[in-house]
């Protein structure tokens, strides 16, 4: 496996990862836009405007949210609240048109979904008196993206003057063992797994990897 092929493999891994990140962000933006649209409909309805067609169109566009994993519990709570607000503007089912009765039915369906998700939200919530909720979760995707960028730079530096990836692994393992370099440890583990998938005999390197990992773990405990 040449250096160019190895770099190409790492490049493909990064591209695939970034594509998934972009898709996830696009999905999240779609959810936020949908909820904002429902908020607009609820406000217009509260001003006395007939929004029956608009809410029907909203249900048609976002029905898949009831069965996929697009929504977070907080999203469900927000949607349930907005739909309850919209329900107050509707006539009673016995006095409603067929279109309004359909909307009553859809609101009931969404409310049922909200009740099913509520216990999950409660179980995840820590006792407020002892452990206040954090303002926001850490950006784990962003942190991992930065880590991949840093590992790629380490790989390129270590490749300088070498003709085979096994020499790169050796240097990385030595750096992890002697210098306590955690990035070198992670990158060497990735390369060893890559070599294993491509038929290389990696048992000696796995042994060195475990030794380096033990040394780093001991150093962390002693620190």
Q: Sign of dihedral through CA atoms 98, 103, 104, 109?
A: positive
> What is the model's pLDDT at position 121?
37
Q: Among residues 72, 74, 70, 77, which one has the least CA distance to residue 110? A: 77
> What is the model's pLDDT at position 122?
39
Can you give the length of the chain in residues? 223
pTM: 0.41
Question: How many Cα atoms occupy the beta-carbon half-sphere of 214 within 13 Å?
Answer: 6
CA distance 173 to 210: 10
Give pLDDT tens digits along the chain (223 positions): 566 666 677 667 766 766 666 666 667 777 888 888 888 888 888 787 888 888 888 888 888 887 766 677 788 788 888 888 777 777 676 666 787 788 888 888 877 766 665 444 333 444 445 555 454 556 788 888 888 888 888 888 888 888 898 999 999 999 888 888 888 899 989 899 888 888 888 888 888 888 888 888 876 555 5
Identify the H or E element spanning 25: helix 3-46
> What is the model's pLDDT at position 82?
84
CA distance 81 to 109: 13
The answer to whether residues 84 and 42 touch, using CB atoms and an 8 Å cutoff, is: no
> What is the model's pLDDT at position 171?
92
The answer to whether residues 74 and 29 touch, using CB atoms and an 8 Å cutoff, is: no
């Amino acid at each position: 496996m040449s250096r160019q092929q190895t770099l190409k493999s790492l490049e493909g891994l990064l591209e695939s990862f970034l594509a998934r990140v972009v898709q996830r962000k696009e999905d999240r933006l779609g959810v936020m836009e949908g909820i904002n649209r429902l908020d607009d409909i609820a406000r217009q309805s509260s001003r006395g405007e007939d929004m029956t067609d608009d809410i029907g169109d909203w249900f048609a566009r976002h029905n898949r949210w009831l069965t996929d994993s697009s929504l977070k519990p907080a999203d469900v709570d927000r949607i349930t609240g907005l739909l309850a607000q919209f329900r107050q503007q509707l006539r009673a089912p016995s006095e409603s048109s067929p279109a309004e009765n359909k909307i009553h039915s859809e609101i009931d369906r969404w409310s049922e979904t909200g009740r099913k998700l509520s216990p999950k939200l409660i179980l995840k919530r820590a006792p407020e008196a002892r452990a206040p909720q954090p303002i926001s979760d850490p950006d784990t995707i962003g942190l991992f993206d930065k880590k991949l960028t840093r590992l790629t730079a380490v790989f390129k530096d270590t490749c300088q003057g070498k003709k085979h990836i096994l020499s790169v692994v050796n240097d990385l393992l030595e750096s992890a063992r002697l210098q306590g370099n955690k990035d070198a440890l992670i990158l060497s583990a990735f390369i060893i797994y890559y070599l294993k998938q491509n038929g290389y005999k990696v048992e000696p390197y796995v042994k060195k990897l475990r030794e380096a990992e033990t040394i780093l773990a001991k150093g962390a405990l002693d620190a």
